[in-house]
């Protein structure tokens, strides 16, 4: 066993003594030692209940003959970090999370690993860690939040963000907004829509690294506790059979995950996280793979924020396994891919059933004929940009308008709420990329403000930053190269005409090349916003959003 390095033989008597200092018995020490990475904290709704999930995992490990060894992990709540300095730390925390799990599992050589994330950067960070370590491992998350109910309508966190714009517009009172904020997030769990957290939790299942049901069983459902126990038991099977994450997360598995991504209409953040996870798996996954799968797949689910259905609705309709069963008709699912069940995808989905054809449409009658995400190229995004096309109003799929340029999110947000953005405008927010931000902050506040001000069918927003999974509308992010790296977005001037053509996958700045050359000769990179600490180190090492914003290798 791998853990023999720290427990077997006379020479390890001091090591065993330290285990015994914590109350471990000889029998517990002799069993396989399973690391349990618990990312519980008291700042993230999706993590507040993870002590209970972790205890269930540990019970499952013990039932199957192993000894669980729990350790903690960090996590940032993107919603609480939104629209202030904290958001610059969110994406950057992904690398710290991966590194911390690696450090714990290498410093203490466990025989297997169960990682328990739930939200935003914690799930991809822990996925990156288990693929980097490549010891028998499995993921179980905390599950999605239920939707709230306000005046008979389903509501969620994004409803509150959009409510700010409605108050500014006069469509809602401050008292009503206060009522809304008190009922929009009624339970623990990852926020109730196909936002980044639930996107990655569903894709963990589609990749085969989590048990069926992981992506959709609600946080408050007893089935989530049973799933956690089953996960604890299943990691012992993986240890026994020596099934490692890279045996599962192959190129075929990543294609399966992208197909599910397109069918669900997942967060654009998946285009950052899935390539970063693939990078750790040593699988080549170029950005163009998302476009290729988008044209082969169909958008089968109309989920919050782009549609009416919640993760609970999706769970009742059959969940991720039912979606994969449906997608198999298009020939985009590799059924031979192995999963943590010890079985293939084909075996797992064989008996899957779609229970609600409005929540999971048939491939013959999808919500959209193409997948939920599109990658746009052009002179304004030579290395690519990302849009959730399933959340764009039909009239905004093609749009041409004048640029309204802002050197950061805060000024743009104030201009939107101040009524300074007019129908037809294209808001450009730059110097918010991985390097320039630093940290590539999400732009949920300005996009929600655009919706709240009633401009989502008339105004587009472009940025070298990124968007929350809760964003809807013509919001195009991850523009690469970013402004801080000399990208063309840094040369845009107020009033320049920009042309968006999502069906043709084009993003064009209509300025003559001679003029652009003159502007380029005058351009100088701005001074870094943050000059010391972790973010300064991150900015010096991070790669492009088109490469998943992974760190440069030494």
Could you list the beta-strand ranges (E) of 286-416: 373-378, 381-388, 398-406
Q: Which is catalytic among the residues 204, 294, 385, 468?
A: 468
Secondary element (H or E) of residue 155: strand 153-155
Strand partners, 299: 368
Angle of CA points 331, 138, 217, to nearest 5°: 70
Does 468 participate in catalysis according to the annotation?
A: yes
Secondary element (H or E) of residue 164: helix 157-169
| Calculated CA dihedral for residues 430, 436, 439, 444, nearest 10 degrees | -10
305-335 burial, b at 16+ Cβ within 10 Å, e below that, comes to: bbbebbbbbbbebbbbbbbbbbbbeeebbbb
| 230, 360 contact by CB (below 8 A) | no
CA-closest candidate to residue 324, choices 301, 346, 295, 291: 346
Distance CA 101, CA 108 (A): 11
Q: Give CA 417 to chain center in angstroms.
A: 27
| 475, 443 contact by CB (below 8 A) | yes
Strand partners, 344: 338
Q: What positions carry a catalytic annotation?
A: 468
């Amino acid at each position: 066993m791998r853990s023999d390095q720290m427990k077997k033989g006379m020479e390890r008597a001091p090591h065993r003594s330290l285990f015994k200092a914590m109350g471990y018995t000889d029998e517990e020490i002799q069993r396989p030692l399973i690391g349990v990475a618990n990312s519980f904290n008291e700042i993230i709704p999706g993590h507040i209940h993870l002590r209970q999930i972790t205890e269930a995992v540990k019970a499952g490990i013990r039932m199957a003959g192993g000894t669980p060894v729990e350790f903690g992990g960090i996590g940032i709540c993107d919603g609480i970090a939104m629209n202030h300095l904290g958001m610059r730390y969110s994406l950057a925390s992904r690398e710290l999370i991966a590194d911390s799990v690696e450090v714990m599992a290498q410093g203490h050589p466990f025989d297997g690993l169960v990682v328990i994330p739930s939200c935003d950067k914690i799930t991809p960070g822990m996925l990156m860690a288990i693929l980097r370590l490549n010891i028998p491992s499995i993921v179980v998350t905390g599950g999605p939040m239920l939707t709230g109910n306000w005046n008979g309508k389903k509501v969620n966190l994004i409803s509150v963000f959009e409510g700010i714009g409605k108050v500014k517009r006069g469509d809602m009172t401050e008292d009503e907004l206060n009522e809304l904020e008190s009922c929009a997030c009624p339970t623990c769990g990852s926020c109730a829509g196909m936002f980044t957290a639930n996107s990655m939790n569903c894709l963990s299942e589609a990749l085969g690294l989590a048990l069926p049901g992981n992506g959709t069983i609600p946080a408050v459902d007893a089935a989530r506790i049973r799933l956690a126990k089953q996960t604890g038991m299943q990691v012992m099977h993986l240890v026994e059979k020596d099934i490692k994450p890279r045996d599962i997360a192959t190129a075929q598995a990543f294609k399966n995950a992208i197909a599910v991504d397109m069918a669900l209409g997942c967060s654009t953040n998946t285009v950052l996280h899935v390539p970063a996870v693939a990078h750790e798996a040593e699988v080549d996954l170029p950005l163009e793979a998302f476009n290729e799968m988008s044209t082969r797949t169909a958008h089968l689910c109309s989920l919050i924020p782009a549609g009416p259905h919640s993760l609970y609705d999706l769970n009742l309709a059959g969940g991720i396994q039912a979606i994969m069963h449906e997608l198999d008709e298009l020939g985009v699912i590799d059924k031979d891919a192995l999963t943590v069940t010890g079985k293939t995808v084909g075996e797992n989905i064989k008996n899957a059933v779609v229970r609600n054809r409005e929540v999971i449409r048939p491939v013959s009658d999808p919500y959209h004929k193409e997948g939920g995400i599109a990658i746009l190229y052009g002179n304004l995004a030579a290395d690519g940009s990302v849009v959730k096309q399933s959340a764009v109003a039909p009239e905004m799929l093609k749009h041409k308008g004048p640029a309204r340029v802002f050197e950061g999110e805060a000024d743009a947000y104030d201009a939107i709420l101040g009524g300074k953005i007019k129908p037809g405008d294209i808001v450009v927010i730059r110097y918010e990329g991985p390097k320039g931000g630093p940290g590539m902050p999400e732009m949920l506040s300005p996009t929600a403000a655009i919706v709240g001000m009633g401009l989502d069918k008339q105004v587009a927003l472009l940025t070298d930053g990124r968007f929350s999974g809760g964003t809807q509308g013509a919001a195009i992010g991850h523009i690469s190269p970013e402004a801080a790296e000399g990208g063309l977005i840094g040369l845009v001037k107020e009033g320049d005409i920009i042309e968006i053509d999502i069906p043709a996958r084009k993003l064009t700045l209509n300025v003559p090349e001679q003029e652009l050359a003159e502007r380029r000769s005058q351009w100088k990179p701005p001074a870094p916003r943050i000059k010391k600490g972790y973010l300064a180190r991150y900015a010096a090492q991070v790669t492009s959003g088109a490469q998943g914003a992974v760190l440069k290798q030494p």
